[in-house]
Structure 1
Amino acid sequence: MKTRVGIIFGGRSGEHEISVRSALSVINAIDRRKYSLVPIAIDKEGHWLNPFRSAELFPDDVRVDLLNGIQGADGAFGLLPDRGFNGMTSLAGAEMPSIGLDVIFPVLHGTYGEDGTVQGLFELADIPYVGCGVLASACGMDKSTMKALFREAGLPICKYASFLRSEWESDPDRIVGEMERSLGYPMFVKPANLGSSVGVSRAGDSVELRRAVALAAEYDRKIIVEEALTMREIECAVLGNEYPQASLPGEYIIRDKAKSFLDYTEKYAGTGNNEFIVPAPISEELTEKVREMALAAFKAIDGSGLARVDFFLRSDNGMLLVNEINTMPGLTDASGFPKMWEGSGRSFTDVLDTLISLAIEKHADRARNKTTFNSNH
């Protein structure tokens, strides 16, 4: 019997479109001889869509294939625990039979999906799910908390500062002065809880800094500001639970030297201005250092399943810095995570199979925990 996988994608996040593209890549690559798929989209307003409406977000051939074998009407949809509270069942009203799910693959990026919120739902429903748990997802989403954990683990990081949107709105002049004194220009301004370069700007003076903060504040209540370095950006993929493995590192090569950083458009619009190379053109010694530090960063947040760790390789002194970790990295055809594993000798299909096995393994391990206490022992 095939394992039934609920593919959840979309979401109430600035990375909604990337999530849809990632889900399509997963659907195209997963071994359909072993898995049957149930598409579950979350729209930009946070509404959960039934499989019929969810499949409409994909090309016609994919939609028809996904809905083959799913019977019923197009009605209201939600996710609820089954009667025995032993797993999660998708429901679409009385006219549509319930669809039992064996494992969830939350292909969700950014807020309300990669930040521990939906992971908490899966924990309550007691169903296996792919990826990091509640704690690691939340810590990996918040760049300020993430960097604090990296620092505690002894990992080198760049200089940074963070503040709340409310602090900025009450006294922007004070914040500008503090950023100038602690970091200096140029600097990068980012929403603390987002990815895919959404809301990220480079500021070279106070005017650009104010504009950059205003943009970042549209996406998050917490803003993080980092020193801008002359450097190369190296990435490394991680796969596993208690005994994770690291891929060969990769690197985006930007052909247009006028570009100061790889923004959202450059990453996903297919401009042809960048190329992702695996392995990254660095020494064997540095390659091993990247892989070791990637595993250390993964363990620092108590990661499980998968992650992509991003590094800065400074041009002035050759120092390697951990920038951030992504607990549900992009899985699109333009994304580094699948390319790094392919460059390491593992197909994306094999990686997806491993991720589902890891999800079931993690769920079984969690089931060993006692949930009652006998005071007589």
Structure 2
Amino acid sequence: MPGPHAPATQTSDPRPTQRPHVAAAVEDWWCTVAGAFLRRRGWVPRVLPYTGYGTPRGVRVLARVLLVPPSRARGPLSPVRHADRRPLRSYLTLPAPGERLRVAVGGAVVDVATDRAGYVDVEVALPDAAPLAPGRHDATLTALRARDDAAPVVASVVAPVVVVGDDATFGVVSDIDDTAMVTAVPRPFVAAWNTFVTRASARRPVPGMPALYRRLAAEHPDAPFVYLSNGAWNTAGTLARFLDRHGFPPGPLLLTDWGPTQTGWFRSGPQHKGDSLDRLMIAFPRVRWLLVGDAGQLDEDVYVRAAARWPGRVVAIAVRQVDGARPRPSRGRPDPGAPLVHGADGTELGARLDAVLDPRHQRSGTNPDS
């Protein structure tokens, strides 16, 4: 997070300095043309808030601005209001790039602009005299007129922010697909059906994972839980409702945009997770993280490399074995210096984590799978 005297930092620049990839250029053209067409027919921008995080001295605020039809023009959008509809409908959205918003949290007020995909991702430094207490707080986002930044267009929208206290020394970063929720990523057709068709109410948790996470939360009441996934922000409402329905500890979602980037057709999943872990390490320098993922993607490799980059900051790495997942080669991979455990479900992972998380049995760099 920014230091106590640092200005607000907008991490997604709405005016990129490099020449965009052809796919990004085509996407930008489509958003401009479609956006102009729909605005002439009464569509308006609305703010969709996400849950951010931070410290008593600074917070990261997350949101997205979408164009919506006149029938949805009144009131703020909610990421969970339509969370149980077919997931495919969540992808049928049109972003509103370049929209200006005023963000107010604690005693700080900053103005930002949405990026090319309509996102707001801003780090806000708080006044020295008004730090935030640990717990949930609200950031207020207000859309501003293009010609008069003092005149709001719509009512203010509240984005939750989870503030982690300075006393917290343990936290959990968890993947979602095939770690918390059964998705079957190694089987592409099944994974696609689950991702785009299956409603949130029909999704199944990985056995034993909700109980494991609740036990960790009970043992570490101040611990932040962060759900880091390569899933699209379009599914944030579906995922949040799923986690709440099955009793997972609440926490921010860190998702990604599936559209083209300035440099290629698709975003890099491992880079998204690696960069997100680095930001968490910087934001919370006293927290040691338990990293939980699955073998169906590249979680183990991403986590091992993060642990090697941040010596002493990873208390353990837990990887769920997934049917159909190919073994990942370890040649050339650094030594994480943190215990690495594997298990078929939450019960098995929990039993193996007990040994490495118990201070009487912790041995840095050990692998208790055997």
TM-score using structure 1 length: 0.29
Give 1 or 2: higher helix fraction: 1
TM-score using structure 2 length: 0.30
